[in-house]
């Protein structure tokens, strides 16, 4: 099956999932950065590095609903990388998951309700 330019389905280059809520890493990244600024500013350079990793994936794909940039990697994969970046700071990582309200695939987040 040839994918046409106007295909409504775009798959994430990293996980292969259909991108249902296209928000690019840049847009998410600035949210995360704001959050980090108030929580642990010293991690901001690390966050930037994570973003740079994703920059190489911005080829023709779908468009970010916020800024309109081409994007090919889902929000989930970006959040996953950021979460990995926070692994030395479990509390922060937990907060991140709550704040950005995403579920870690494969490892169900147990709520402490
Ligand atoms: Zn993905
Ligand atoms: Zn965007």
Domain residue ranges in the chain: 20-99
3-state SS of 52-77 is: HHHHCCCCCCEECCCCCCEECCCHHH
Q: What is the 8-class DSSP label of residue 42? A: G
Residue 40's φ and ψ, nearest 5 degrees, are -155, 80
- Does residue 88 surpass a pLDDT of 80? yes
Ligand 2 geometric centre to CA of 106 (Å): 26
Ligand 2 geometric centre to CA of 112 (Å): 32
pLDDT in tens, 13-42: 899 999 988 999 899 999 999 999 999 999
Q: What is the pTM of this model?
A: 0.78
Q: Mean pLDDT lowest for which of 5-9, 24-28, 80-84?
A: 5-9
Q: What is the 8-class DSSP label of residue 18? A: B
Q: 69 and 50 in contact (C-beta within 8 Å)? A: no
Ligand 2 geometric centre to CA of 66 (Å): 5
Return the ∠ at Cα 18 (arms to 110 and 64), rounded to 5°: 95
């Amino acid at each position: 099956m040839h994918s046409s330019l106007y295909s409504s389905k775009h798959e994430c280059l990293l996980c292969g999932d259909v991108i249902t809520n296209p928000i690019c890493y840049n847009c998410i990244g600035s949210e995360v950065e704001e959050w980090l600024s108030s929580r642990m500013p010293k991690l901001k350079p690390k966050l930037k590095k994570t973003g740079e990793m994703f920059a190489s994936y911005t080829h023709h794909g779908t468009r970010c609903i916020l800024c309109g940039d081409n994007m090919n990697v889902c929000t989930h994969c970006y959040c996953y990388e950021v979460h990995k970046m926070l692994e030395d700071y479990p509390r922060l990582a937990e907060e991140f998951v709550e704040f950005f309200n995403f579920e870690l695939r494969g490892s169900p987040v147990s709520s402490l309700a």
